[in-house]
Structure 1
Amino acid sequence: MFQDIAIDVLFEKRKRGELILVDVRSPSEYREASIPGSLNIPLFDDAERAEIGTLYKQASVDAAKTRGLEIVSAKLPAFIKQFAALPGKTAVFCWRGGMRSKTTATVLSLMGIHAYRLTGGYRAYRRSVVDALSEMDFAPKLIVLHGNTGTGKTAILRALQARGCPALDLEAMAGHRGSAFGHIGLPAHNQKTFDALLFDELSRFEQAPYVFMEAESKRIGKVTVPDFLMRKKEEGLHVRIEMPVEARVNTILNDYRPEAHHEACLQAFRLIKSRLHTPVAAEIETLLEERRYDRAVALLLIHYYDPRYAHSSEAYESTALAAIRADTAEEAAEELLRLVGGGLAVQP
């Protein structure tokens, strides 16, 4: 018979890499939000789930169960085969640890495949993450990266991650770069996904001496950063990154790929054009329409983003640890490590 597993035990086993998590909910439920790193082997697809739900509401519980049994029995061989191919112990979950995960775990057990069932399902996981983020006492000091738009702060964080250093890439977790153009070319994440990814990263870094992050706002696209992390950011060590305008323009062109997202760039610019002097706004719009992106980006930096950044960064000028001047993200990452003395690598 299968075993139930509580959420706290699941967290510990995940940390040690002892379990493969399988979400047996429908594909649309899985896409909406799931436990990071889980696989989706749905017991019912979206159409089947809708059909069973309709029977449950409009006919009876027994009618819904009977139809569910008919659907499952027809797909059992292929369903079980997917689990048999997994290289390790499995924990299955559905929305609240109900019929779908119980059915899956029971069938697998009958076929000699051991599987845990997560008590309370995804709902219990989500509640645990929300509770943890609302009361987390995160010990590591934050090293907060500041710098004008296009400085490549995200690239610097990734360069640090590649060196084994603890770094929070909040924009990747949000699926948004935090500006009017921030959604372009990225799959936006909802709050549930953001919280789950953030919780996983914070749990990995809880023993680190320092953690790097960018000086993000409270809101990044559609998600909001927890209050405790914003407080930690304010109390952190602040480092200003400086790069030439030409390097910043190239970073933006590489990140946003405007030639592949021409209309999205135009639409995003039109949301902010009223905040610019009319002649400058007209010139930038013309340049974008003519696909002269490098010149358009340079003007946006000079006339829009740099003045906004200068105003927002005033509060950190007196507490800045240092200013780092570099031409590339790799150079900046190396300078940061020299600044803090190295020794920040953490095990994945």
Structure 2
Amino acid sequence: MAEEGQQTEEEMAAAMEAMASGGDDSKALSQDEIDNLLGFSAAPAHEKKTGIEAMLDKALLSYERFPMLEVVFDRFVRMLSTSLRNFTSDNVDVDIHSITSLRFGDYVNSIPMPAILSVFKAIEWENLALVTYNGSIVYSMVDVLFGGRKSNRPIRIEGRPYTSIEQSIVRQVTELILIDMGAAFDPLSPATFQFERIETNPRFATIAHPSDTVVLLQLRVDMEERGGNIEVMFPLVTLEPIKKLLTQTFMGESFGKDSIWELHLGKEIYNTDVVVKAILGKKKTTMEKLMKLKVGDTIILDNKASEDIDLTCEGIRVLKGKIGKVEEDVAIAVSEVINKNMRERD
């Protein structure tokens, strides 16, 4: 029996040693599996996050909570297409590639270089936003405006700094974008966008905290065989003054006039019972005199017997009249309508 107990203890110790030394390799996770579990995979910033990172990012406010924002952006794209056609005298198509929400820091890190960033200010909202142009759209604009030949070959993006001519063209396009964006927001809320500056380094265009949520509108601009991407980025802090308007499901949160419902509501309102009180008079007194009042005492009011008395409804004076008697009932003859908005029922 002693040998059996000793053998059992030795087997348990061997099993524990095997577990500590990682003898069961089938249960060990690889580095890729750990990264996927935590959500820290090498995926682009715009792709949907998974794992624990997605749980931590759950507080990220989605643009889908702002139904009117998509309506505004759709109107903006139609206006911008017309403006760019007039500006370039060429056939220009502008389409919405995507509307997403992400962190400002993730967006800055995902901007492909070279790029030009235009910082602009929303005057009424007292905050800033960005318009980003990738290299393809900048070189395509220069090519179109200066009469370059159409070619099926892709535009070669150079790593050199942008020239003053290229930056001047970007500024003119930005002015068009800001005018059209203001016109798109106008039916919802008056908005004036003012150009601030141009940056070629995303680090110098930091207009929000890296953890702040932003709404990103990605546009695809096609000019026949040429084109590129334009991105308009609004921090949620910038949109905060019109947040309630953006959460509406339709413009103005009101339907068209419904005469049938209006007539029915009017009838029900006219049939509503209300309480009308006749105020005979008022008297100011002290708490001491009020406490000494007893049955049989006479209270002398401040108004005269010949004066009109007030008739109130829910504390609002609506009529004036003289008190009298009809048979055995107390009656009041209306002498004045105080509320001029009162109208007799037709």
* Bigger Rg over Cα: 2
- Compute the TM-score of the two structures, normalised by the length of structure 2: 0.22
Normalized per residue, the structure richer in strand is 2
Normalized per residue, the structure richer in helix is 1
